Amino acid sequence: MSTDTILSSNKMRTPLWIFLWTALCFGALSFHIDSVPPYHTDENFYVESVRNMVETGDYITPVYQDKKRFAKPPFYYWISALNYKLLGQGHVSARLVSTFMGAVCIAVTFFLTRRLFDESTGWLSAFILPGLYLHFQISRWAITDMTMALFILSAFYCCLLSVENNKVRIGWLYLFYFFIGLGFLTKGPPAVLIPASALILYRLLQKEKIPLREFKILQGLALILAMNLPWFLTMWILHGDEFKEHILGAEIKNRIVHDLPFSFYYFGVLIRYNLPWSLFFISALYYWFGMEQKKDFGNSKISLLEKIRLIAISQRKNPARLFCLAWIFAPILVFTLFRIEHSRYLLPLAPALAALLAHFFITLKSQPMGFQTILFKIPFYVTLIIYELIAILCAIAIWALHPLSPTPFAVFLLPLLLLPGTILLVYLHRSKTTFRLILALGVLQIILLSLGSGSFQSYINRSPMQSFAEVILEKGSGKEDLALFQASSNRARLGIMTAQSAYNFENPEGLKNFIQTPGRKFIVLKKEDWQNIFSKLPLRKIAEDQLWKNKKRDKGWIKKVLLDGTLKHKDELLETYYLLSTH
């Protein structure tokens, strides 16, 4: 068989293999997605608002707890509403929208990275992306960010396809603007700011020869406006000044004019929320902007600004790498200047980070020292130490908590898999099987996040809200109001789990008045609050569970509990909650 035949056969199989890998990642991202923690409080807005849309048939105005919610455009609500009709109402259906989008991002990242670099780099990026904590976690939340991230990623991919041999292909260019329009219809301005800032910086650094008029910017803006204006105008017609003041005030003025001090918040987010891969990214930056530059201008005494200019010019020899660097750092600079601090705003940058890391590993592989260089060994062994520390802490937590409640098998798996996993990584590193080493590291990171987020965190952050939600959904009609007393964080959890209106009351009179209003209600109370304050109310207990007591503990007390065993201190650790019904 000829070489051309083999290459052609491999190209035909590539879509199948990336589809299978995407499906596997979808399973990992959705593992125990029904569990409560970790969760995002904004999920409450979308889970309940989408339920209200489906029940009322009003798909124009999002409504949360009987109040109009203008904070985000409607596209994510519409997709979630469709999923509610297909899979049923609830937080699982809403979260699976983000999970599906997060999985599709993996496939698109592969094809984008393959076009920028080569197929090997594309495969490595597809194994790195799902192991980036920010990407993994937001794939499990019912919020708009992952949907917007997929549209931005798709826009970048279409942008690459639109330029070939210094000519612009108009069909792909309009698809580029179309995906930006979908992103804006999902989350608003970030969908424009991120690709615009990245492409402007890239063009300035690369000195593109294609005239700007070839990119049909005015026509593209017209397409984006045509996709978004109908909903905004409809909302203005329906709600008038209330909608206009929200857009001009909360969504524009308050995000630009504020008193937040200047900080390097996003640089910290880039490192903190992408561990341990971000450790390798630091090495990559040092390699590209440090070691590579020594041969260009050595130790010559030049100013810092001149050095930065020379470094920027030197990156032009690798346009693909420069494109990804602009994709990461241009939005960071924009958000830093605006002083808007939301860690999830960096989510659309994750594919570029995965592509750059894959490119760095392929570059190292071609060097004489390969992965034996200190630039790889330092972050690699720090990663192994992190994994071992996680395994030890997990084992201690299981030992301490097992007497209080049975430990699920999936929880045991986490520390058990980390030990042989790290041993395998050391073996692959010493045997110099470089490509397999990165693939194995990617798979181990995905397993860690999947078991940690899907099982372990739910186990240690025990909450009665999940069991109470199951009872409410079983015994109720889905239309009851829910209430809690002095438990704001649990209010969000209960609302997310049931997709029903959940209210938190800080004073007894407010809750008593709420209970006396018409209609059946479910109430969550601490046992002591029920006995001391609300025992005379016409409430019937239908379930009970326990939650960790929220009290500060000194080192002496913690040491005593570990020595005596948690079972002896059960009453000091846990407090009982009741689920009560008005009928």
The whole-chain average pLDDT of the chain stands at: 84
Query: Quick one: 434 and 332 in the same domain?
Result: no
Please list the residues that pair with 546 across neighbouring strands: 576
The per-residue pLDDT for range 114-166, each reduced to its tens digit, is 999 999 999 999 999 999 999 999 999 999 999 999 999 999 999 999 987 77
Indicate whether 445 and 483 sit together in one domain: no
Which residues, including other chains, have CB under 8 Å from residue 31's CB and lie 6 or more apart?
450, 451, 453, 454, 455
CA angle 227, 229, 232 (to 5 degrees): 125
Domain that holds residue 574: 465-581
- Cα 15 to its chain centre, rounded Å, is 25
Residues 106 and 27 both lie in one domain: yes
Same domain, 103 and 237: yes
Using only C-alpha atoms, what is the Rg of the chain? 26
Model confidence at 311, pLDDT cuts 50, 70, 90, reads: low
In a domain, 306, yes or no: no
Domain boundary among 394, 426, 460: 460
3-state secondary structure of 378: helix
Q: Is 361 inside a domain boundary? A: no
Q: Would residue 8 count as lying in a domain?
A: no
Name the H helices within 240-276. 241-246, 254-256, 265-272
How confident is the model over 345-356, as a mean pLDDT? 95
- Please count the structural domains in the chain: 3
Cβ neighbours of 20 (radius 10 Å): 10
Angle made by CA atoms 489, 85, 155, in degrees to the nearest 5: 80
pLDDT of residue 9: 47
Q: Are residues 407 and 554 in the same domain?
A: no
Q: Picking from 16-20, 81-85, 210-214, 268-272, which range would have the lowest pLDDT averaged per residue?
A: 210-214
H or E element, residue 529:
helix 527-529
Asked if residue 5 belongs to a domain, the reply is no
Do 444 and 533 belong together in one domain?
A: no
Same domain (yes/no): 431, 507: no
Where does a domain end: 460, 486, 516? Answer: 460
Q: Residue 311: inside a domain, yes or no?
A: no
Cα 369 from chain centroid (whole Å): 35
Neighbours of 10 (CB within 10 A): 11
Mean pLDDT of 494-518: 84
Same domain assignment for residues 186 and 200: yes
Whether the per-residue pLDDT at 466 is higher than 70: the answer is yes
pLDDT at 191 over 90: yes
Q: Report yes or no on 369 lying in a domain.
A: no
175 DSSP 8-state letter: H
DSSP characters over 310-359? HHHHHGGG-HHHHHHHHHHHHHHHHHHHHT---GGGGGGGHHHHHHHHHH
Residue where the block lists tokens 């059946």: 520
Residues 438 and 512 in one domain: no
As given in the structure block, the two tokens for residue 230 are: 């109908």
Residue 230 covered by a domain? yes
Query: 70-104: per-residue pLDDT in tens?
Result: 888 899 999 999 999 898 888 888 899 999 999 99
Least confident of 132-141, 253-262, 346-355, 454-463: 253-262
CATH of the domain at 501: 3.40.190.10
Q: Is residue 485 part of a domain?
A: yes
Whether residues 153 and 176 fall in one domain: yes
Q: Check residue 100 and give its pLDDT.
A: 96
Is 521 found in the same domain as 408?
no
Residue 487's Cβ-count burial label (10 Å; 0-12, 13-18, 19+) is: buried
**What is the band of 243 on the pLDDT scale with cuts at 50, 70, 90?**
confident
Confidence of residue 264 (pLDDT cuts 50, 70, 90): confident
**Assigned token pair, 206:** 């690369």
Based on the domain organization, do 91 and 237 belong to the same domain? yes
